[in-house]
Amino acid sequence: MGRLFQLQEYCLRAMAHRDDMDGTEGRALSLQHISSLIFVISAQYPLISYVAYNRNDMEKVTACLSVVFTNMLTVIKISTFLANRKDFWEMIRRFRKMHEHSASHIPRYRERLDYVAEANKLASFLGRAYCLSCGLTGLYFMLGPIVKIGACRWHGTTYDKELPMPMKFPFNDLESPGYEVCFLYTVLVTVVVVAYASAVDGLFISFAINLRAHFQTLQSQIENWEFPSSKPDTQIRLKSIVEYHVLLLSLSRKLRSMYTPTVMGQFVITSLQVGVIIYQLVTNMDSVMDLLLYASFFGSIMLQLFIYCYGGEIIKAESLQVDTAVRLSNWHLASPKSRTSLSLIILQSQKEVLIRAGFFVASLANFVGICRTALSLITLIKSIE
């Protein structure tokens, strides 16, 4: 198995970030670190200009708004990472250390290693799949104008140049060299958006899946322990279990704190994106190319939301299952002192760990609710037409 969080680390390194909090990363933000944020923010001007210029054309306005919202969400994710970059790297190092500790204590921690190894295979797969999805969506936007130009030249017909994204610059962006400059600018913005989305979102689902694996390991250790009160290492092992549980709860709360702005932005902006993209899908049923474009875009933003809802759901479910594990164990064989410690674990486990931001809770129930809203919008728009 490869290094944990390897793909996400590559994406962050591409954006000039390093796991070196004692060096440059630990000091104040440099121009290198904030350049990507400024670069993405700068894309809002041509996007909003396009909306203002075509304000009387609802189809063009909604097409641009979906990109505007995506760009806004990326700004939130970049800002979140820059504000909490130290915590992000600490979480990465912590999970890597926990995995290495499990691997170095075989067979004692064989069960823990098995849970974590399987979890990291799943996290790696989802991270690659998500990165591929974002990359292909961005590539589709970039290649669209090139393919159209090539097709028109092949058939000997004229073609009006258009940029990959709906943008309006304060100069002639449809003639050389302005067109080439704007095209390159759009490509670079897309690369930054894809890189940060793959890193920040990929780290969240990887952290969540690792937490689930460690919660499952804790449950297994508790359920399978015979509580031999006569052995001298009973209290030592019980202390280890309690500390393990406290660590997992601490990491869960830290994850929630780190991602609060992102979760809020994800729910609010995705809800807005659903509206404009559904409108585009319904009104472009006759164009196969446009239908494929907006369908892939819709799938990409819903996948982003699903990552947070699924991650929040599994953390909530597994944190509550620790209580059940204690009740299913041979706790009646434990000494009175050990039972006191087990009761503390039960008390801590009865309060679910929620990944939330305000009144938005990252859960599968809320994800299904947004999907139902999307279906209702399709029906509404078609009935109006």
The domain locations on the chain are 5-384
* Position 352 confidence tier, pLDDT thresholds 50, 70, 90: confident
Residue 212 token pair: 């689930």
Say which range, 107-121, 131-145, 244-258, 310-324, has the weakest mean pLDDT: 107-121
Residue with tokens 């009175």: 336
Q: Which residues contact 193 (CB under 8 A, 6 or more apart)?
A: 40, 70, 71, 74, 134, 138
Residue 80 predicted with pLDDT over 80: yes
Helix/strand/coil for 85: helix
Nearest CA to 360 out of 265, 275, 274, 253 is that of 265
* Position 1 confidence tier, pLDDT thresholds 50, 70, 90: very low
Q: Which residues contact 276 (CB under 8 A, 6 or more apart)?
A: 62, 63, 65, 66, 69
- Report which residue type is found at 331: W
Q: Residue 280: what pLDDT?
A: 81
Calculate what percentage of the chain has a pLDDT beyond 90: 34
Q: Residue 53: what pLDDT?
A: 92
Residue 350 predicted with pLDDT over 60: yes
Residue 168 token pair: 């309006």
* Position 236 confidence tier, pLDDT thresholds 50, 70, 90: confident
Q: Residue 25: what pLDDT?
A: 45
Q: Which residues contact 349 (CB under 8 A, 6 or more apart)?
A: 245, 319, 320, 321, 322, 323, 326
The span from the CA of 192 to the CA of 330, in Å, is 53
Residue 22 predicted with pLDDT over 90: no
- Consecutive H or E run containing 357: strand 356-357
Say which range, 17-31, 202-216, 366-380, has the weakest mean pLDDT: 17-31
pTM: 0.88
Mean pLDDT of the chain: 84
Q: What is the mean pLDDT of residues 64-79?
A: 92
Residue 379 predicted with pLDDT over 80: no
